[in-house]
Amino acid sequence: MRPGSPGPAPRRPRGAGLPDFPWDSLAGAKATAAAHPGGLVDLSVGTPVDPTPEVVAEALRGAADAPGYPQTHGTPALRETVSAWFARRRGVPGVDPDGVLPTIGSKELVAWLPLLLGLGPGDVVAHPGVAYPTYDVGARLAGARPAVADGVAGLAAAEEQALQTGGRVGLVWLNSPSNPTGAVLEVEELAAVVAWARERGIVVASDECYAELGWDERHDAARGGLVPSLLDPRVCGGDHTGLLCVYSTSKQSNLAGYRAAFVAGDVALVGELLAVRKHAGMIVPWPVQVALAAALADDAHVDAQRERYRARRDVVRTALEGAGFRVDASGAGLYLWATRGADSRTTVAELAARGVLAAPGDFYGPAGARHVRIALTATDERIAEVPGRLADLRA
């Protein structure tokens, strides 16, 4: 540095504005649980453990020769497959393939969407009160402000607060089925949010990656049920303007390692995202595009995986209820949202002492502080351990 020079402006690492990575705080409980003589039963993360379906692995292998750059927009074949999937599996006809864009898993889209949409200081990103932490992170990465808002009443309050500080709500995140609670937003609830947002020209994005894992009669595909999508004509009248549905095959197809997901809806908004993503190199590798299309074209492996989780869910739920837990919501998805009334860290410690690791509800916001989130993503062998581990914990 030259003598007398003020030097460069102090750099503020981007991570400094982000919350601590919540799982780091579980290290102690994990060590305790791992010391159990029967070994760790890790129900703290939603990472799939069953094999990647052969139909998908085969598609990936068949696409291994990929010397050229892939299309950021995704191949036309992939985008047609997504459109057909919406019609077949989600009750959503008429998704325009131009309004489909593959993403490198959906976490990156959740984290970058506010920035890609041009939101920044002064803008508010609304998300559910008990929520997957990345909605908050995405707002912060864009320099926008995250705000908790559930339903139209919550959104109106968030809007009021934003206006008082000269800001405005720029994006509303919905998550159905919810991580962590497993609650499903019904058609009327989705439609009310869409109507509210449309009056104001606000974008609504709905993260629906657990939609194939419905357990309640109304939402269980095995019984003719359906988890409604934001793009459902009963929700939006068949008009996808201002709406984005975010979906991932990580959970339904055991593909978390492939990073295979997509966003779909408003053609103009998807075009905006595409324009930036092309410049930024946010491209799904071509073999993964091929594998993603294979996964979305095959329903049999999704149905089989759902039944695996159903059996695990029954075992864990019965064990939890026998141990004095109340399971709230949890009508769909990969988690049981459970409470014994105590602070979630106390419950995590009680479970860890029995070799079972759960996620404390406070990871998902202060409103979750008396719940724990129990994931169903463990092998049948590990799940079979749970009843015995909890047997001494009585109501």
Ligand X SMILES: Cc1ncc(COP(=O)(O)O)c(C=O)c1O
Contact positions vs ligand X (CB under 6 A): 46, 105-107, 110, 132, 175, 179, 207, 209, 248, 250, 256, 261
- The stretches of the chain forming alpha helices (DSSP H) are 27-34, 54-62, 76-89, 106-116, 134-141, 151-164, 187-200, 233-236, 267-280, 286-297, 300-322, 344-352, 380-390
DSSP string, 68-101: SPPPTT--HHHHHHHHHHHHHHSS-----GGGEE
In the complex, least distance from residue 367 CB atom to ligand X, rounded to whole angstroms: 16
Query: Is 179 or 339 the residue whose CB approaches ligand X more closely?
Result: 179
Q: Nearest distance from residue 320's CB to ligand X, in Å?
A: 20
Smallest separation, CB 110 to ligand X (Å): 6
Backbone angles phi, psi at 208, to 5 degrees: -125, 30
Tell me whether residue 56 or residue 110 sits nearer to ligand X (CB atom).
110
| 101, 145 contact by CB (below 8 A) | no
DSSP one-letter code for 151: H
Give the separation between CA 13 and CA 222, rounded to whole angstroms: 48
- DSSP 8-state symbol, 47: -
In the complex, minimum distance from the CB of residue 351 to ligand X, in angstroms, rounded to a whole number: 20
Rounded to the nearest whole angstrom, what is the least distance from the CB of residue 17 to ligand X in the complex?
Answer: 21
- Determine the Cα–Cα distance for residues 75 and 147; give it in Å rounded to an integer: 36
- Closest contact distance (angstroms) between CB of 128 and ligand X is 10
Residue 46 or 97: the one with the smaller Cβ distance to ligand X is: 46
Q: Is the Cβ of residue 358 or residue 390 nearer to ligand X in the bound state? A: 358
For residues 46 and 214, which CB has a smaller minimum distance to ligand X in the complex? 46
| Closer residue to ligand X, CB minimum distance, 46 or 167 | 46
Contact 126, 171 (CB under 8 A): yes
Structure tokens at 207: 């993260």
Query: How many residues in total does the chain contain?
Result: 395
Choose between 52 and 106: whose C-beta lies nearer to ligand X. 106
- The least distance separating ligand X from the CB of residue 282, rounded to whole angstroms, comes to 13
What's the CA gap between 238 and 123, in Å, rounded? 28
